[in-house]
Amino acid sequence: MSYEAYKDNSLGFTTKQLHAGYNPGEHYRSKAVPIYHTAAFELGDYDRCVRLFDYSEEGHSYVRFSNPTNDVLEKRIASLEGGRAALAMASGMAAISNTFLNLANAGDEIVAVQTLYGGSTTLLSSILPDYGIVGRFVEDADDIEAYKRVINEKTKAIYIECLGNPGMNIVDVEAIAELAHAHGIPLVIDNTFATPYLFRPFEHGVDIVCYSATKYLAGHGTVIAGLVVEKGGFDWLNGKFPQFEKFYKEFEDSIDKETLDQEMFTKRLRIRFLTEMGPHMSPQTAFYMLQGMETLSLRMDRHVYNAQKIAEFLDQHPNVEYVNYPGLPGSRYYELGKKYFPKGTGAILSINVKGGEKAALKVLEKVRIFDYMVNVGDAKSLIVHPASSTHFYQSKEERAKAGVYDNTLRLSVGIEDVEDLIADLAQALE
Ligand code: PLP
Protein backbone atom coordinates (compact mmCIF):
# COMPACT_ATOMS: atom_id res chain seq x y z
CA MET A 1 0.00 0.00 0.00
CA SER A 2 2.58 2.52 1.09
CA TYR A 3 4.43 1.98 -2.20
CA GLU A 4 1.68 3.36 -4.40
CA ALA A 5 2.28 7.08 -3.90
CA TYR A 6 5.14 7.14 -6.40
CA LYS A 7 2.86 6.87 -9.43
CA ASP A 8 -0.25 8.78 -8.32
CA ASN A 9 -0.25 12.02 -10.27
CA SER A 10 -3.41 13.27 -8.58
CA LEU A 11 -1.51 13.89 -5.32
CA GLY A 12 -0.65 17.42 -4.23
CA PHE A 13 2.63 19.15 -5.09
CA THR A 14 4.17 18.71 -1.63
CA THR A 15 3.24 15.01 -1.49
CA LYS A 16 4.71 14.47 -4.94
CA GLN A 17 7.96 16.26 -4.12
CA LEU A 18 8.50 13.54 -1.48
CA HIS A 19 7.25 10.46 -3.32
CA ALA A 20 6.85 10.83 -7.09
CA GLY A 21 8.90 8.55 -9.30
CA TYR A 22 10.37 6.35 -6.58
CA ASN A 23 9.07 2.90 -5.79
CA PRO A 24 11.06 1.53 -2.81
CA GLY A 25 9.73 -1.92 -3.69
CA GLU A 26 12.13 -1.91 -6.67
CA HIS A 27 15.14 -0.98 -4.50
CA TYR A 28 15.27 -3.40 -1.53
CA ARG A 29 12.64 -1.17 0.14
CA SER A 30 15.27 1.45 0.89
CA LYS A 31 13.30 4.51 1.97
CA ALA A 32 15.96 6.96 0.75
CA VAL A 33 16.67 6.82 -2.98
CA PRO A 34 19.90 4.79 -3.29
CA ILE A 35 22.94 6.26 -5.03
CA TYR A 36 23.90 3.80 -7.76
CA HIS A 37 27.62 4.41 -7.67
CA THR A 38 28.67 2.42 -10.70
CA ALA A 39 29.87 3.31 -14.16
CA ALA A 40 27.99 0.50 -15.87
CA PHE A 41 25.44 -2.28 -15.41
CA GLU A 42 25.56 -5.94 -16.32
CA LEU A 43 23.92 -6.53 -19.66
CA GLY A 44 22.59 -10.00 -18.84
CA ASP A 45 22.40 -11.94 -22.07
CA TYR A 46 23.02 -11.15 -25.72
CA ASP A 47 19.34 -10.60 -26.60
CA ARG A 48 18.88 -8.12 -23.76
CA CYS A 49 22.03 -6.27 -24.78
CA VAL A 50 20.60 -5.83 -28.30
CA ARG A 51 17.26 -4.64 -26.91
CA LEU A 52 19.00 -2.07 -24.68
CA PHE A 53 21.10 -0.79 -27.54
CA ASP A 54 18.25 -0.48 -30.04
CA TYR A 55 16.23 1.17 -27.23
CA SER A 56 13.36 -1.31 -27.50
CA GLU A 57 13.89 -2.11 -23.79
CA GLU A 58 14.11 0.55 -21.09
CA GLY A 59 17.09 -0.19 -18.86
CA HIS A 60 20.56 0.82 -17.79
CA SER A 61 23.79 -0.18 -19.50
CA TYR A 62 26.34 2.62 -19.29
CA VAL A 63 25.86 5.53 -16.89
CA ARG A 64 26.56 8.28 -19.41
CA PHE A 65 23.18 7.21 -20.87
CA SER A 66 21.14 6.57 -17.70
CA ASN A 67 21.27 5.62 -14.03
CA PRO A 68 18.50 4.51 -11.61
CA THR A 69 19.16 7.42 -9.18
CA ASN A 70 18.93 9.97 -11.99
CA ASP A 71 15.86 8.12 -13.28
CA VAL A 72 13.99 8.88 -10.02
CA LEU A 73 15.01 12.55 -10.21
CA GLU A 74 13.83 12.75 -13.84
CA LYS A 75 10.48 11.16 -13.00
CA ARG A 76 10.07 13.41 -9.97
CA ILE A 77 10.64 16.68 -11.81
CA ALA A 78 8.43 15.51 -14.70
CA SER A 79 5.66 14.79 -12.18
CA LEU A 80 6.05 18.11 -10.34
CA GLU A 81 6.07 19.99 -13.64
CA GLY A 82 3.10 18.08 -15.06
CA GLY A 83 5.27 17.04 -18.01
CA ARG A 84 5.73 13.84 -19.91
CA ALA A 85 9.50 13.25 -19.59
CA ALA A 86 12.66 14.84 -18.21
CA LEU A 87 16.41 14.57 -18.43
CA ALA A 88 19.05 15.36 -15.79
CA MET A 89 22.26 17.04 -16.92
CA ALA A 90 25.53 18.22 -15.40
CA SER A 91 24.57 21.90 -15.08
CA GLY A 92 21.98 24.47 -16.07
CA MET A 93 24.20 25.52 -18.97
CA ALA A 94 24.45 21.88 -20.11
CA ALA A 95 20.64 21.68 -20.05
CA ILE A 96 20.27 24.92 -22.02
CA SER A 97 23.06 24.43 -24.58
CA ASN A 98 22.00 20.87 -25.37
CA THR A 99 18.38 21.97 -25.67
CA PHE A 100 19.44 24.54 -28.29
CA LEU A 101 21.46 21.91 -30.15
CA ASN A 102 18.51 19.53 -30.13
CA LEU A 103 16.24 22.25 -31.55
CA ALA A 104 18.39 23.83 -34.22
CA ASN A 105 20.78 22.85 -37.01
CA ALA A 106 23.34 25.04 -38.80
CA GLY A 107 21.39 27.71 -40.68
CA ASP A 108 18.61 27.84 -38.08
CA GLU A 109 17.75 30.64 -35.68
CA ILE A 110 16.44 30.89 -32.10
CA VAL A 111 14.48 33.96 -31.05
CA ALA A 112 15.15 35.10 -27.48
CA VAL A 113 14.53 37.98 -25.10
CA GLN A 114 17.45 40.23 -24.12
CA THR A 115 17.07 39.82 -20.37
CA LEU A 116 18.40 36.26 -20.25
CA TYR A 117 20.93 34.86 -17.83
CA GLY A 118 24.32 36.05 -19.16
CA GLY A 119 25.55 32.57 -20.10
CA SER A 120 22.47 31.96 -22.27
CA THR A 121 22.90 35.33 -24.00
CA THR A 122 26.56 34.55 -24.73
CA LEU A 123 25.63 31.13 -26.14
CA LEU A 124 23.10 32.64 -28.54
CA SER A 125 25.04 35.77 -29.47
CA SER A 126 28.67 34.61 -29.54
CA ILE A 127 29.16 30.84 -29.35
CA LEU A 128 26.44 29.07 -31.34
CA PRO A 129 26.68 31.50 -34.30
CA ASP A 130 30.17 30.07 -34.96
CA TYR A 131 28.41 26.73 -35.50
CA GLY A 132 25.73 28.23 -37.74
CA ILE A 133 22.95 28.62 -35.13
CA VAL A 134 22.05 32.26 -34.68
CA GLY A 135 20.27 33.90 -31.74
CA ARG A 136 17.87 36.72 -32.73
CA PHE A 137 17.06 39.05 -29.87
CA VAL A 138 13.69 40.71 -29.39
CA GLU A 139 14.02 44.49 -29.07
CA ASP A 140 11.18 44.89 -26.55
CA ALA A 141 10.16 41.72 -24.69
CA ASP A 142 6.90 43.37 -23.58
CA ASP A 143 5.72 43.97 -27.16
CA ILE A 144 4.40 40.92 -29.04
CA GLU A 145 4.92 42.76 -32.36
CA ALA A 146 8.66 42.83 -31.60
CA TYR A 147 8.71 39.00 -31.53
CA LYS A 148 6.90 38.88 -34.87
CA ARG A 149 9.56 41.11 -36.41
CA VAL A 150 12.40 38.65 -35.68
CA ILE A 151 10.63 35.35 -36.47
CA ASN A 152 11.22 33.96 -39.96
CA GLU A 153 11.23 30.57 -41.71
CA LYS A 154 14.63 29.73 -40.14
CA THR A 155 13.35 30.21 -36.57
CA LYS A 156 13.16 26.92 -34.63
CA ALA A 157 12.13 28.10 -31.16
CA ILE A 158 11.34 31.07 -28.94
CA TYR A 159 13.37 31.15 -25.73
CA ILE A 160 12.32 33.16 -22.67
CA GLU A 161 12.84 33.23 -18.89
CA CYS A 162 10.10 33.20 -16.25
CA LEU A 163 11.57 36.20 -14.42
CA GLY A 164 14.26 38.40 -15.99
CA ASN A 165 17.64 38.77 -14.34
CA PRO A 166 18.03 41.03 -12.41
CA GLY A 167 15.09 43.28 -13.40
CA MET A 168 12.51 40.56 -12.58
CA ASN A 169 10.54 41.45 -15.72
CA ILE A 170 7.69 39.11 -16.69
CA VAL A 171 6.73 38.38 -20.29
CA ASP A 172 3.22 37.48 -21.42
CA VAL A 173 3.89 33.75 -21.76
CA GLU A 174 0.49 32.80 -23.21
CA ALA A 175 0.67 35.37 -26.00
CA ILE A 176 4.21 34.26 -26.91
CA ALA A 177 3.19 30.57 -26.84
CA GLU A 178 0.34 31.30 -29.22
CA LEU A 179 2.71 33.09 -31.58
CA ALA A 180 5.26 30.25 -31.44
CA HIS A 181 2.62 27.62 -32.18
CA ALA A 182 1.20 29.66 -35.06
CA HIS A 183 4.69 29.32 -36.61
CA GLY A 184 4.96 25.59 -35.82
CA ILE A 185 7.78 26.12 -33.32
CA PRO A 186 8.03 25.38 -29.58
CA LEU A 187 8.20 27.85 -26.72
CA VAL A 188 11.11 27.07 -24.39
CA ILE A 189 11.48 28.65 -20.95
CA ASP A 190 14.17 28.84 -18.31
CA ASN A 191 12.06 28.47 -15.14
CA THR A 192 14.99 28.54 -12.72
CA PHE A 193 13.91 31.58 -10.68
CA ALA A 194 10.33 30.37 -10.15
CA THR A 195 10.49 26.53 -10.02
CA PRO A 196 7.33 24.52 -10.85
CA TYR A 197 5.94 25.53 -7.47
CA LEU A 198 5.59 29.24 -8.28
CA PHE A 199 5.09 29.09 -12.04
CA ARG A 200 3.44 26.32 -14.11
CA PRO A 201 4.87 26.76 -17.65
CA PHE A 202 2.99 23.87 -19.28
CA GLU A 203 -0.37 25.27 -18.15
CA HIS A 204 0.40 28.44 -20.12
CA GLY A 205 1.47 26.91 -23.42
CA VAL A 206 5.21 26.29 -22.90
CA ASP A 207 6.61 23.13 -24.54
CA ILE A 208 10.07 22.69 -22.98
CA VAL A 209 11.37 23.83 -19.59
CA CYS A 210 15.06 24.18 -18.68
CA TYR A 211 16.44 24.54 -15.17
CA SER A 212 19.60 25.53 -13.51
CA ALA A 213 18.70 23.05 -10.76
CA THR A 214 21.74 24.42 -8.95
CA LYS A 215 19.43 27.10 -7.58
CA TYR A 216 16.07 26.67 -5.77
CA LEU A 217 15.45 23.07 -6.85
CA ALA A 218 18.58 21.84 -5.07
CA GLY A 219 18.11 24.71 -2.68
CA HIS A 220 21.21 24.80 -0.54
CA GLY A 221 24.04 25.90 -2.81
CA THR A 222 25.75 22.51 -2.69
CA VAL A 223 25.61 21.18 -6.27
CA ILE A 224 25.74 22.25 -9.91
CA ALA A 225 22.89 20.60 -11.80
CA GLY A 226 20.56 21.00 -14.78
CA LEU A 227 17.19 19.60 -15.83
CA VAL A 228 15.13 19.64 -19.02
CA VAL A 229 11.42 18.79 -18.95
CA GLU A 230 9.18 18.10 -21.96
CA LYS A 231 5.45 18.71 -21.86
CA GLY A 232 4.77 16.13 -24.57
CA GLY A 233 2.60 16.29 -27.61
CA PHE A 234 4.45 18.92 -29.67
CA ASP A 235 4.41 17.90 -33.34
CA TRP A 236 8.11 17.55 -34.19
CA LEU A 237 7.15 16.04 -37.56
CA ASN A 238 5.42 19.20 -38.81
CA GLY A 239 8.00 19.75 -41.53
CA LYS A 240 10.19 22.24 -39.68
CA PHE A 241 12.53 19.80 -37.93
CA PRO A 242 14.38 17.47 -40.35
CA GLN A 243 16.55 16.19 -37.50
CA PHE A 244 13.47 14.81 -35.72
CA GLU A 245 12.14 13.24 -38.95
CA LYS A 246 15.48 11.45 -39.36
CA PHE A 247 15.42 10.35 -35.71
CA TYR A 248 11.84 9.07 -36.04
CA LYS A 249 12.73 6.97 -39.10
CA GLU A 250 15.77 5.57 -37.34
CA PHE A 251 13.88 4.44 -34.25
CA GLU A 252 10.27 3.84 -35.34
CA ASP A 253 10.83 0.07 -35.46
CA SER A 254 12.33 -0.18 -31.98
CA ILE A 255 10.87 2.59 -29.78
CA ASP A 256 7.11 2.35 -29.32
CA LYS A 257 5.02 4.86 -31.25
CA GLU A 258 3.36 6.48 -28.23
CA THR A 259 6.74 7.23 -26.65
CA LEU A 260 8.16 8.61 -29.89
CA ASP A 261 5.06 10.75 -30.48
CA GLN A 262 4.93 12.10 -26.94
CA GLU A 263 8.54 12.42 -25.83
CA MET A 264 10.72 12.53 -28.92
CA PHE A 265 12.47 15.71 -27.74
CA THR A 266 13.73 14.00 -24.56
CA LYS A 267 14.54 10.72 -26.34
CA ARG A 268 16.69 12.54 -28.90
CA LEU A 269 18.26 14.72 -26.21
CA ARG A 270 19.29 11.60 -24.32
CA ILE A 271 20.41 9.47 -27.26
CA ARG A 272 22.10 12.15 -29.36
CA PHE A 273 23.35 14.65 -26.79
CA LEU A 274 23.53 13.23 -23.25
CA THR A 275 25.12 10.06 -24.57
CA GLU A 276 27.33 11.43 -27.33
CA MET A 277 28.32 14.83 -25.88
CA GLY A 278 28.60 13.57 -22.30
CA PRO A 279 26.99 16.22 -20.02
CA HIS A 280 25.97 13.56 -17.51
CA MET A 281 24.81 14.33 -13.94
CA SER A 282 26.53 12.15 -11.35
CA PRO A 283 24.16 9.98 -9.27
CA GLN A 284 25.59 11.61 -6.14
CA THR A 285 24.35 14.98 -7.44
CA ALA A 286 20.97 13.44 -8.29
CA PHE A 287 20.74 12.27 -4.67
CA TYR A 288 21.44 15.80 -3.35
CA MET A 289 18.87 17.12 -5.80
CA LEU A 290 16.23 14.72 -4.51
CA GLN A 291 17.02 15.68 -0.92
CA GLY A 292 16.70 19.36 -1.72
CA MET A 293 13.48 18.96 -3.68
CA GLU A 294 11.76 17.22 -0.74
CA THR A 295 11.32 20.67 0.86
CA LEU A 296 10.87 22.77 -2.29
CA SER A 297 7.33 24.05 -1.65
CA LEU A 298 8.05 24.87 2.00
CA ARG A 299 11.20 26.76 1.11
CA MET A 300 9.56 28.65 -1.76
CA ASP A 301 6.66 29.77 0.46
CA ARG A 302 9.15 31.20 2.92
CA HIS A 303 11.38 32.69 0.19
CA VAL A 304 8.48 34.66 -1.34
CA TYR A 305 7.11 35.72 2.05
CA ASN A 306 10.51 37.17 3.00
CA ALA A 307 11.06 38.73 -0.44
CA GLN A 308 7.70 40.52 -0.39
CA LYS A 309 8.36 41.95 3.09
CA ILE A 310 11.85 43.06 2.09
CA ALA A 311 10.65 44.61 -1.18
CA GLU A 312 8.02 46.60 0.76
CA PHE A 313 10.64 47.75 3.27
CA LEU A 314 13.11 48.81 0.57
CA ASP A 315 10.39 50.53 -1.44
CA GLN A 316 9.87 52.94 1.49
CA HIS A 317 13.54 53.45 2.30
CA PRO A 318 14.86 56.99 1.67
CA ASN A 319 18.26 55.70 0.44
CA VAL A 320 16.73 53.45 -2.20
CA GLU A 321 16.00 55.02 -5.58
CA TYR A 322 14.05 52.11 -7.08
CA VAL A 323 13.03 48.52 -6.30
CA ASN A 324 12.46 45.98 -9.10
CA TYR A 325 10.04 43.42 -7.72
CA PRO A 326 6.82 42.42 -9.51
CA GLY A 327 5.06 41.83 -6.17
CA LEU A 328 4.97 45.61 -5.57
CA PRO A 329 1.80 47.34 -6.85
CA GLY A 330 4.02 50.05 -8.41
CA SER A 331 5.82 47.53 -10.66
CA ARG A 332 4.86 47.56 -14.33
CA TYR A 333 4.80 43.73 -14.09
CA TYR A 334 2.42 43.63 -11.10
CA GLU A 335 -0.63 42.48 -13.12
CA LEU A 336 1.30 39.82 -15.08
CA GLY A 337 2.77 38.72 -11.76
CA LYS A 338 -0.69 38.23 -10.28
CA LYS A 339 -1.80 36.27 -13.36
CA TYR A 340 1.19 33.94 -13.72
CA PHE A 341 2.58 33.75 -10.16
CA PRO A 342 -0.40 33.37 -7.81
CA LYS A 343 1.86 32.18 -4.95
CA GLY A 344 4.34 35.06 -5.30
CA THR A 345 6.78 36.44 -7.85
CA GLY A 346 9.93 34.72 -6.62
CA ALA A 347 12.55 35.87 -4.17
CA ILE A 348 15.08 37.73 -6.29
CA LEU A 349 14.88 41.48 -6.52
CA SER A 350 17.12 44.33 -7.52
CA ILE A 351 17.47 47.83 -6.15
CA ASN A 352 19.10 51.01 -7.36
CA VAL A 353 20.80 52.68 -4.43
CA LYS A 354 20.71 56.47 -4.07
CA GLY A 355 24.20 57.96 -4.28
CA GLY A 356 25.42 55.97 -7.28
CA GLU A 357 27.96 53.17 -7.46
CA LYS A 358 29.89 54.37 -4.38
CA ALA A 359 26.80 54.08 -2.19
CA ALA A 360 25.88 50.66 -3.66
CA LEU A 361 29.37 49.30 -2.97
CA LYS A 362 29.16 50.66 0.59
CA VAL A 363 25.98 48.61 1.14
CA LEU A 364 27.80 45.51 -0.14
CA GLU A 365 30.62 46.16 2.30
CA LYS A 366 28.30 46.69 5.27
CA VAL A 367 25.82 43.78 5.01
CA ARG A 368 26.39 41.09 7.62
CA ILE A 369 23.79 38.39 6.93
CA PHE A 370 23.49 38.79 3.16
CA ASP A 371 26.54 37.08 1.64
CA TYR A 372 28.38 38.81 -1.21
CA MET A 373 28.01 36.05 -3.81
CA VAL A 374 27.24 35.68 -7.49
CA ASN A 375 24.83 32.78 -6.91
CA VAL A 376 21.04 32.89 -6.43
CA GLY A 377 18.40 30.52 -5.08
CA ASP A 378 20.25 29.41 -1.96
CA ALA A 379 18.39 28.99 1.34
CA LYS A 380 20.77 31.69 2.59
CA SER A 381 20.43 35.34 1.54
CA LEU A 382 22.87 36.58 -1.10
CA ILE A 383 23.72 39.95 -2.59
CA VAL A 384 25.78 41.02 -5.61
CA HIS A 385 26.69 44.08 -7.72
CA PRO A 386 25.72 42.85 -11.23
CA ALA A 387 27.65 45.53 -13.20
CA SER A 388 30.99 44.26 -11.83
CA SER A 389 30.14 40.54 -11.83
CA THR A 390 27.22 38.81 -13.61
CA HIS A 391 26.98 41.54 -16.29
CA PHE A 392 30.69 42.52 -16.30
CA TYR A 393 31.29 41.64 -19.96
CA GLN A 394 28.32 43.58 -21.30
CA SER A 395 28.49 47.15 -22.56
CA LYS A 396 26.80 49.93 -20.56
CA GLU A 397 23.98 49.98 -23.15
CA GLU A 398 23.45 46.20 -22.96
CA ARG A 399 23.41 46.39 -19.17
CA ALA A 400 20.87 49.18 -19.21
CA LYS A 401 18.56 47.01 -21.36
CA ALA A 402 18.72 44.34 -18.65
CA GLY A 403 18.06 46.96 -15.94
CA VAL A 404 21.64 46.92 -14.64
CA TYR A 405 23.20 50.26 -13.67
CA ASP A 406 26.31 51.15 -11.67
CA ASN A 407 24.16 51.58 -8.55
CA THR A 408 22.16 48.34 -8.96
CA LEU A 409 22.37 45.55 -6.38
CA ARG A 410 20.68 42.16 -6.80
CA LEU A 411 19.33 40.38 -3.74
CA SER A 412 18.48 36.69 -3.55
CA VAL A 413 16.33 36.56 -0.45
CA GLY A 414 16.83 33.48 1.72
CA ILE A 415 14.69 31.79 4.35
CA GLU A 416 16.23 33.39 7.45
CA ASP A 417 14.01 35.29 9.92
CA VAL A 418 12.80 38.24 7.89
CA GLU A 419 13.25 40.68 10.80
CA ASP A 420 16.99 39.86 10.80
CA LEU A 421 17.25 40.40 7.05
CA ILE A 422 15.45 43.74 7.22
CA ALA A 423 17.61 44.89 10.15
CA ASP A 424 20.73 43.88 8.18
CA LEU A 425 19.70 45.88 5.11
CA ALA A 426 18.58 48.83 7.28
CA GLN A 427 21.98 49.16 8.97
CA ALA A 428 23.83 48.72 5.65
CA LEU A 429 21.69 51.38 3.92
CA GLU A 430 22.32 53.84 6.74
N1 PLP B 1 19.74 30.04 -15.95
C2 PLP B 1 19.69 30.93 -14.97
C3 PLP B 1 18.44 31.78 -14.82
C4 PLP B 1 20.76 31.09 -14.09
O5 PLP B 1 20.69 32.00 -13.10
C6 PLP B 1 21.91 30.29 -14.26
C7 PLP B 1 23.10 30.43 -13.38
O8 PLP B 1 23.21 31.34 -12.60
C9 PLP B 1 21.94 29.37 -15.32
C10 PLP B 1 20.83 29.26 -16.12
C11 PLP B 1 23.13 28.48 -15.53
O12 PLP B 1 23.06 27.42 -14.62
P13 PLP B 1 24.30 26.60 -14.03
O14 PLP B 1 25.15 27.56 -13.27
O15 PLP B 1 23.66 25.54 -13.19
O16 PLP B 1 25.04 26.03 -15.21
**Centre of ligand 1 from the C-alpha of residue 212, in Å:** 5
In the prediction, which pLDDT does 5 show?
A: 82
Ligand 1 atom, smallest distance to 214 CA: 15
Rg (CA), the chain: 22
In the prediction, which pLDDT does 395 show?
A: 85
pLDDT band, residue 2 (cuts 50/70/90): low
| Residue-wise pLDDT tens digits, 98-147 | 999 999 999 999 999 998 998 999 999 999 999 999 999 999 999 999 99
| Residue-wise pLDDT tens digits, 357-406 | 999 999 999 999 999 999 999 999 999 999 999 888 888 888 888 889 99
DSSP code per residue over 264-280? HHHHHIIIIIIHHH--P
| Mean pLDDT, rounded, of the chain | 96
Question: Does position 291 have pLDDT exceeding 70, yes or no?
Answer: yes
In the prediction, which pLDDT does 3 show?
A: 63
Question: Does position 354 have pLDDT exceeding 90, yes or no?
Answer: yes
Residues with CB under 6 A from ligand 1: 91-93, 117, 119, 161, 165, 190, 192-193, 212, 214, 224, 226, 376
**Which residue minimizes the CA distance to atom 15 of ligand 1?**
92
Q: Cis omega before residue 166 (within 30°)?
A: yes
CB-hemisphere CA count at 13 Å for 52?
A: 17
**What mean pLDDT do residues 338-366 have?**
97
Ligand 1 atom, smallest distance to 95 CA: 16
**Which residue minimizes the CA distance to atom 14 of ligand 1?**
92
Measured between alpha carbons, how far is residue 68 from residues 26, 270, 288, 398 in Å? 10, 15, 14, 43
In the prediction, which pLDDT does 415 show?
A: 98
Backbone dihedral angles phi then psi of residue 210, each to the nearest 5 degrees:
-115, 145
Rounded to whole angstroms, the Cα distance separating 139 from 114 reads 7
- Give CA angle at 238 (207, 206), nearest 5°: 10
For the chain, which domains are there? 16-292 (3.40.640.10), 296-429 (3.90.1150.10)
**What mean pLDDT do residues 166-175 have?**
95
**Is residue 109 within 8 Å of residue 155, measured between CB atoms?**
yes
**What mean pLDDT do residues 288-311 have?**
98
In the prediction, which pLDDT does 9 show?
A: 86
The H or E element spanning position 110 is strand 109-112
